[in-house]
Amino acid sequence: MKMRQEHFETVHQAVWAHYDVITGELKAKSSKQRSVDAAAFPALYRKICNHYAVALTRQYSPALVTKLHGRVLLGHQILYKQTTFQASAIINFFSKTFPCAFRNTIGYFGVALLLFLIPFIGTGVSCYCQHDLIYSLMDESQVAEFEFLYDPVNKKYGRPAEKQADTRIAMFGFYIKNNISIGFRTFAGGMLAGTGTVFFLIFNGIILGAVAGHVTRLGFTGTFWPFVSGHGAFELTAIVISGAAGLILARALIAPGNRQRIDALKRAAATALHLIMGAAAMMVLAAFIEAFWSPAGVSSSVKYLAAGLLWGMVIIYLGFAGRSGGGTTGAGHFMSAQSQ
């Protein structure tokens, strides 16, 4: 028994020493001060639990069992603490990381906004002035579907014909799927040297502008604009942010600076990921508003007031949230860092 225990200790001593170093740092230091990989800790903790179980089964010395038991307890406390603070990490992301990442890349957002807004306004005005122009952009069945969506005679306007019987919860899921797919395609298009991102920004601007101009010309202003005004603050902003994230990837591929292209892409992806995660959350919030508030039977003036408040919240949040951390807020910080 003694020889087996000595062999057991010799074989696993290095693992225990490594575990002690990691638990010491995880317990004593914040995430910014750690020099160890916290992601590797759960697998190492499972090994220690296995060693403890083996020591108990083989009835090794109480001293060894006690030491391993102490390591297991400490590891459990650390894992429990990490799980407990996941909520604070989420709060920190949305209160600081995401809005700061947005401001640090505001130049990309500006380019994406122009790519979306110019086609939106241009097509919207054109389709309002020329009644048949929309048929050059989509076929008759698509035009008819959009007309049905916002026709005042439609009791559940804003819903496709096949979704009229669905509950608001079902529509919430439908809107999430639709919104996330738009945002993801716009973002992922950056991997095609930005051509995909540019295409989807312009395409969405053209389609949304065409629909807005066409239904406004038909006189559906009492249904269309009150319906889209509320969730538009989050949905449209998220689409453009997704485009900005795609353009960040595109720049890393096209102009990596003095870095290798793969290194530039990895660096850009970290920032782009923050943007697309925040945009995805905004898409979900937009879907919730679109499903539960946009079709609500309240007056247009109330909906416009709510829309104004929501747009104000988005602007204030993206413009000022997280500034107390003292982080950089200019686009030049990220752009210059990419080229170094």
- Inter-CA distances, 100 with 23, 205, 236, 272, 319, Å: 31, 26, 19, 12, 9
Nearest to 271 by CA among 37, 103, 88, 115: 103
Per-residue pLDDT at 332 exceeds 60: no
Provide the pLDDT confidence category of residue 164 given band limits of 50, 70 and 90.
confident
Chain centroid to CA 157: how far?
29
d(CA 317, CA 313): 6
Provide the pLDDT confidence category of residue 35 given band limits of 50, 70 and 90.
low
pLDDT of residue 22: 87
Per-residue pLDDT at 333 exceeds 80: no
Q: Which residue has the higher pLDDT, 301 or 41?
A: 301
Q: What is the pLDDT of residues 52-67, one digit of tens each?
A: 888 888 888 888 888 9
Both tokens assigned to 300: 């247009």
User: For 280-297, what is the mean pLDDT?
Assistant: 91
d(CA 295, CA 168): 9
Per the prediction, the chain carries an average pLDDT of 86
pLDDT of residue 330: 44
What's the chain's Rg over C-alpha atoms? 27
Both tokens assigned to 333: 């910080």
Per-residue burial over 226-245, b if 16 or more Cβ lie within 10 Å, else e, is bbbbbbbbbbbbbbbbbbbb
Residue ranges of the alpha helices (H) in 195-260?
195-217, 221-254
pTM score: 0.72
Per-residue pLDDT at 197 exceeds 80: yes
Q: What is the pLDDT of residues 249-260, one digit of tens each?
A: 999 999 888 888
